[in-house]
Chains A and B, each alone.
Chain A
Amino acid sequence: MSTTADILETAEATVCQPPSRWQVIADKTFRSTCQTFAWLTVIGIVFIVVRIFMAGVPAMREYGPGFLTGTTWDPNKDAYGILPEIWGTLYSSILSLMIGTAFGVAAAIFLSEGYLGEFVFGALRMLNLHFHPFWSHLPQRMEDLLRNLIELLAAIPSVVYGLWGIFVVVPAIRPVCNWLHLKMGWFPLFSTDLSGPGMLPAVLVLSIMILPTITAISRDALTSVPPKLRMAAYGLGATRWETIFAVILPTASRGVFGGVVLAFGRALGETMALAMLVGNSNRISVSLFSPANTLAALLANTFPEARPKEVAVLMYAALVLLAITLIVNILGAVILQQTSKSQQGAH
């Protein structure tokens, strides 16, 4: 005859037991391993930044701030300056940001307003299929498809965009550009002709590459605007675009802005498409058709054949690029973080 105490005792021995010593050790090991890897990630990133910084220091000591304002790059004369590259990097990024933002935000509005879904639904209603078990899902599916197609733009490798730029964009825009130069050459933006690679094709391809970033982040910001606000605006009699301009865009503006800043960081650091399309010419020009150079393209084109002396100088250029992109990226991350915090109470 077993008492309750006996049962409990047997149960304790078989089912309810504290973790064995091995389990405790395994648990502690695993948890500290996870923590170690988390530390390693942070340390690794700090190490990367420090490493690039340290590599640039010798050249920094030798050439000082004059490196940033010099305009010649001649390894034979030992004269190095990256002002044209800094100018090219900022100029190409800002131009492509303007184009990319216009189209990216437009696409984000198109997606968040559900235009395509409405259109497909309207077409289905005309065919009287809008409650059909299969076809009624079509509007949502088309919306998803469109979103994925825009995200696929980001999946295409930049070197493929470069190839496409050389063989499609440049021949396509060349006649237009040369006509513009001929007729309106007095205008600074058109002051040179497009003889092949140049600023405009690079900017066009770059804006396509940053568009998905802007669209994805803006769309998130636009769809997270509380529906109440939209409904209130409609209820007051506002049209769709009065609602968008007066309510939705201002509410989502910080998210959109964060996306634009992140895209700016992308554009500054983008390498391959620019290395293939921008023309690698060491000059400062406001003309859209003139060849130019950017920091990243300079690194990509010069590094593989550089002599040790030149490598040290290139490290300095890399450091400048790192500083510019880090500032822009951290700014973008902070803005986005604050946006998500400020929207937490809005729902």
Chain B
Amino acid sequence: MGTLDQRLPNPADDMNPFAEVDFFDLEKSLRRPRTLVSVLLSGLVTTMTLFALGPLFSVVWMLFWRGGHKLSASVFTQLPPSALEAGGGFGNAILGTLVIIVLATIITVPAGVLSAVYLAKAKPEDRLAQAVRFAAKVLTGFPSILAGVFAYGAVVLLTGGFSAIAGAVAVSILMLPTILLTAEDAIRMVPVKMVEAAIGMGATQTQTAWMVLLPTALPGILTGVMLAIARGAGETAPLLFTSLFSNYWPTSNGHLNLMQPTASLAVLIYNFAGMPFENQVELAWAAALVLVLLVLITNLAGQALSSRQVR
């Protein structure tokens, strides 16, 4: 390139301005170190990406291989076996996980969505909105075990015992930021025209929110809820000393009892993974398969919903 610049102002010198250009120098060839380095680095990045995906396939393969053949109808209906007992299942853990997740969703969704409505409608310089957003972002990285520590102090010690409620409170702390931040994004994505049309027709802020904003943003909000549920269902650390574990159904006298220790899939996997008994380990794998399927289906359903969001 340098040669070309120097030669151009002096055309009389040579009729062909490209005479001294080394065309080999301009060629993209693997023999040139620059190109070679580029290709090698591309190859390296490709290999590293494949390596990063390896664990995913390994986990899924192991889940189906070791957990798959243990799966049967009895696994879903029976109670966990004791030390050397054969058979058994984790029906109570599935029910417990569902109960805890439903409770946590009931706690989180109203708080998350209504705060998100406030955030989406707040002025940019609103201090409260900034504080909420910042708090939610910090909470996304909140260690899950600390949510358990908090729920232990705030609920278990207060009510005097381990319970599904305490577990739900702990899990809801971890679900809140996902719901809040996704719902805010979804509400912000509602076209301004629609909101202005509603206000132009004389609707109050509340009517706009209920009849335009929330229905239009619903797919996006549900995506956030689904992702939060998927995350909450897999959480183990906050349940370890809030809902604890139980070998029995979370019922007393035929009714759901929320104030007693409750089993959950995640804690069952943790407990059984460390046991020296083959049957328990097999059950841990089967439970892991059920849990991962539950989480993945919720996750994929959430992502499918988000593609239906009006943009």
- Which residues does A use to contact B, with CB under 8 Å? 16, 19, 23-24, 26-27, 30-31, 33-35, 37-42, 45-46, 48, 51-52, 55, 102-104, 106-107, 109-111, 113, 115, 146, 148-150, 152-153, 155-164, 166-168, 208, 211, 215, 237, 239-242, 262, 265-266, 268-272, 275-276, 296, 299-300, 303-304, 314-315, 318, 321-322, 325-326, 328-330, 332-333
Kindly state the separation between the CA atoms of A52 and B210 in the bound complex, as whole angstroms: 38
Tell me the bound Cα distance from A266 to B142 in angstroms: 8
* Stretch with Cβ within 8 A of A (4 or more), from B217-225, B230-238, B252-260: B230-238
Give A85 Cβ to nearest chain B Cβ, in Å.
12
Most buried by B among A160, A162, A208, A270: A160
Inter-chain CA distance A332–B141, complex, in Å, is: 10
* Beta-carbon contact of B234 and A157 below 8 Å: yes
Considering the complex, give the chain B residue whose CB is closest to the CB of A314: B149
Interface residue from A38, A215, A237, A239 paired with B115 (Cβ < 8 Å): A38
Q: Which of A115, A163, A276 has the most C-beta atoms of chain B within 10 angstroms of its own C-beta?
A: A163
**B136 is an interface residue with CB less than 8 A from chain A:** yes
Q: Which residues of B contact A153 (CB under 8 A)?
A: 52-53, 55-56
CB-nearest residue of chain A to B114: A37
Assembly CA distance A106 to B276 (angstroms): 39
**Residues of A contacting B: mostly:** helix
Given A52-B150, A52-B153, A296-B145, A106 contacting B45 (CB threshold 8 A)? yes
Q: Which B residues fall within an 8 A CB radius of A?
A: 1, 34-35, 37-38, 41-42, 44-46, 48-49, 51-53, 55-56, 58-59, 62-63, 66, 110-111, 114-115, 117-119, 121, 128-129, 131-132, 134-139, 141-150, 152-154, 173, 176, 180, 202, 204-207, 209-210, 230-231, 233-237, 240-241, 244, 266, 269-270, 273-274, 281, 284-285, 288, 291-292, 295-296, 299, 303
B55 touches A208 (CB 8 A): yes
Cβ contact within 8 Å between B138 and A39 = no
Q: How far is the CB of B224 from chain A (nearest CB, A)?
A: 14
Give the tally of cross-chain contacts (CB within 8 A).
251
| Among candidates A27, A33, A46, A106, residue contacting B49 with C-beta atoms closer than 8 Å | A106
CB pair B52–A160 under 8 Å, yes or no, is: no
Most A Cβ at <10 Å: residue of B119, B266, B273: B273
Check B135–A325 contact: CB distance below 8 A: no
Contact across chains for A160 and B234 when beta carbons are under 8 A apart:
yes
**Known A160-B234, A271-B143, A271-B144: A42·B132 in contact at CB below 8 Å:** yes
- Given A102-B48, A164-B62, A168-B58, A45 contacting B141 (CB threshold 8 A): no
A sample of 27 cross-chain residue pairs with beta-carbon separation below 8 angstroms, ordered by A number, consists of A16-B202, A38-B128, A45-B135, A52-B153, A55-B149, A103-B51, A106-B52, A107-B52, A110-B49, A113-B45, A155-B295, A156-B292, A157-B292, A164-B58, A168-B62, A211-B52, A239-B35, A239-B38, A240-B38, A276-B273, A296-B143, A296-B145, A303-B240, A315-B149, A328-B141, A329-B137, A333-B138
